[in-house]
Structure 1
Amino acid sequence: MRAVPEEGGGQRLELAEIELPPRRPDQALIRVAYGGVCGTDLHYWLHGAAGASILRHPMTLGHEVVGTVEEAAADGSGPAAGTPVAVHPATPGDDGRTRYPAERPNLSPRCTYLGSAAHDPHTEGAFSRLAVLETRMLRPLPEGLGLREAALAEPAGVALHAVSRAGDLRGREVLVIGCGPIGSLIIAAAARAGAARITAVDLHESALERARELGAEGTLHRPDAAEIAEVQADVVFESSGSWQGTDSALRGAARGGRVLMVGLLPPGQQPVDLSIAIARELELLGCFRFNDEIDEALAALADGSLRTGPIVSHVMDLDDAREAFETARRAEDSCKVLLRF
């Protein structure tokens, strides 16, 4: 499943036969079972870019994938053939110049991600029936966790990373702006972390109904600035990826509160009233992907402590990929759309 740039700035989706790359000794052959359509996949298709990552040539999409080891790595590393696995899509990389905390490899400057155009050449994704992947990316599924359920491990890792950045949520008032797949998983993760009350904001009633099922006690449908300001949350998660959502996050935070910016904003200046952050002494924290939180996500999915019931809204075959992408872009009709390979 590839995104292909066209003349005039357009993009198209295509199913294509591609040749698998030669395998290194530390790589396994994975038969992909499910892949989640992510907002970044949609951005590459619709806009030719995800944030500052610009699609310059055809690229296989997909980083939220799970499957089974078809052939184990030749060097003996990693799981054996027949093992069901989730995939950690990141490969950290250092450029020798840029400073970043060593314990946060998600911030490394040459970090690559499956299905990402952040660097050129792009990093091919794994929306394919077979994929060659390094064994360090593979996470064997916990006992009793099926592949379909495990398909949420990668976005759940993003949510758990955001919640870990927020600090102790026990007894705290939480506000979540945007209740798509990531926002919904943040609600579930905040409830798991002991938040006293969770308020959810979205443009669609269907998303708010899902938020209530996942643990939100209060919901606001298209609120105005005054309604947002009344929330006064200790911790706010902005997961819409829009300047309007960011502005609402600042207004909905209590004085001295913390705002977690999870949604991927487009590059460039944003018309946000930052004077609010100064006057209220707000803490603004960026959240980018995750590190090892995918392991916690798999454990939480396996033991049921992370509620995910309504998040997967559609499961569609790879041959219907165009329809799956069209469905995923309609936020009022869908949440997480899975491709079945």
Structure 2
Amino acid sequence: MAEDNLSAVLYAVDDLRLEQVPIPKPGPKQVLVRVHTVGICGSDVHYWTHGAIGPFVVKEPMIVGHETSGVVSEVGSEVKHLKSGDRIAMEPGLPCKLCEHCKTGRYNLCPEMRFFATPPVHGTLSRYVVHDADFCFKLPDNLSFEDGALIEPLSVAIHSCRRGNVQMGHRVLVLGAGPIGVLNLLTAKAVGAGKVQPQVCIECTGAQPSIETAITTTKSGGVIVLVGLGADRVEIPIIESATREVDIRGIFRYVNCYPTAIELLSSGKLDLSGLTRAHYKLEETLEAFKRTQKADVIKVFIHC
């Protein structure tokens, strides 16, 4: 195996470096992955420009990236469902599997969650990474590595629609036209949602005016799903929500959504081919991050 493990390491605000790190060794229940494609998330850019998201602060060098696909290079001794050469999408969170939330199927709320590129946990923008095999999902032959990287943000959209209980014939309003907003729109349409006046509003910006719009435009008895994360505190027209019984629900990442996301794409029920994209090599990571800031395409990919 080559010893090249070039990685994108964030040291501080505006200090993103490319450097070699040791190739990790997989444990008994892990796999070593030769990373192929990583999508740049808004959180990656936010850590680069601000050094923190809420309580998660970059205090020491951290490899960025978490929207990842690749090829299994080596398997641990106890891994049975994957083999070397398998193409996979990597779900980036590792819960404890022991707490109440994990045992009741809501592992996304695990207080001990270790999530790629969330300080202090390293991400995946490297040639090689290790990951628990339980959170690596085989890609069908008709899905590309870019599709595999898109499974992560698509899972956010699926979880949002589930939290809003979006069903066939529901009218859905999506606020925010970034990658997550667009994927929410496509996912809602894929499960049969229609147009406004909305019974469900999926708010993807985190901005106070947009949250207020969600509350005032959602049909009485409807649901607002808060996807975007903005300021810690915002003013909202709470009486409007309370007297019209408009439920406000949060989401945090996703839970058990990767299989559904893969099925939606592989079956053709959801078509992401229309998403505008830009492509960069790992050596061009800084240029790729700057391109993401321009917001002239939906998704920027780095090919490792």
TM-score w.r.t. length of structure 2: 0.92
- The offset of 1:307, in angstroms, is 2.1
The residue aligned with 2:3 is: none
Q: 2:15 aligns with which of 7, 12, 26?
A: 12
The residue aligned with 2:233 is: 269
The residue aligned with 1:208 is: none
Q: Evaluate the alpha carbon distance shift between residue 329 and residue 274 of structure 1 in structure 2; reply closer, same or farther with a 3 A threshold.
A: farther
- The offset of 1:330, in angstroms, is 2.0
The residue aligned with 1:137 is: 135
Q: 1:274, 1:191 → 2: CA distance?
A: 29
The residue aligned with 1:57 is: 60
The residue aligned with 1:284 is: 248
Q: Which shows bigger deviation, 173-182 or 73-82?
A: 73-82
The 3-state SS of whatever aligns with 1:256 is coil
The residue aligned with 1:221 is: none
The residue aligned with 1:239 is: 204
Structure 2 unaligned segments of length 5 or more: list them.
1-7
The residue aligned with 2:4 is: none
Structure 2 counterpart of 1:184, one-letter code:
V
The residue aligned with 1:174 is: 172
Alignment of 1:190-269 (within 5 A): 190-197=188-195, 232-266=197-231, 268-269=232-233
Q: 1:271, 1:329 → 2: CA distance?
A: 28
- The offset of 1:51, in angstroms, is 3.1
Q: 1:144, 1:100 → 2: CA distance?
A: 32
Contact 1:94 1:109 in 2 (8 A): no
Q: 2:118 aligns with which of 116, 119, 134?
A: 116
Structure 1 counterpart of 2:20, one-letter code:
E
Q: 2:183, 2:297 → 1: CA distance?
A: 14
The 3-state SS of whatever aligns with 1:182 is helix
Q: 1:100, 1:143 → 2: CA distance?
A: 31
- The offset of 1:101, in angstroms, is 7.2
Q: Evaluate the alpha carbon distance shift between residue 278 and residue 101 of structure 1 in structure 2; reply closer, same or farther with a 3 A threshold.
A: farther
Contact 2:79 2:133 in 1 (8 A): no
Q: Evaluate the alpha carbon distance shift between residue 93 and residue 72 of structure 1 in structure 2; reply closer, same or farther with a 3 A threshold.
A: closer
Q: 1:30 aligns with which of 30, 33, 57?
A: 33
Contact 2:279 2:302 in 1 (8 A): yes
Q: 1:197-232, CA deviations, whole angstroms, 9 ceiling, x for partnerless residues?
A: 2xxxxxxxxxxxxxxxxxxxxxxxxxxxxxxxxx54
Q: 1:227-269, CA deviations, whole angstroms, 9 ceiling, x for partnerless residues?
A: xxxx541110001122222122112211221100011223x22
The residue aligned with 1:338 is: 301
The 3-state SS of whatever aligns with 1:15 is strand
Contact 1:77 1:135 in 2 (8 A): no
How many residue pairs are counted as aligned between the two chains? 297
Structure 1 unaligned segments of length 5 or more: list them.
198-230
The residue aligned with 2:262 is: 298
Structure 1 counterpart of 2:299, one-letter code:
K
Structure 2 counterpart of 1:252, one-letter code:
T
The 3-state SS of whatever aligns with 2:199 is strand
Contact 2:226 2:248 in 1 (8 A): yes
Q: 1:100, 1:137 → 2: CA distance?
A: 14
Quick check: 1:310 aligned with 2:266?
A: no
Q: 2:91, 2:54 → 1: CA distance?
A: 21
Q: Evaluate the alpha carbon distance shift between residue 188 and residue 100 of structure 1 in structure 2; reply closer, same or farther with a 3 A threshold.
A: same
Q: 1:53-89, CA deviations, whole angstroms, 9 ceiling, x for partnerless residues?
A: 2211111111100000111223343411011000011
- The offset of 1:312, in angstroms, is 4.4
Structure 2 counterpart of 1:269, one-letter code:
R
- The offset of 1:94, in angstroms, is 6.7
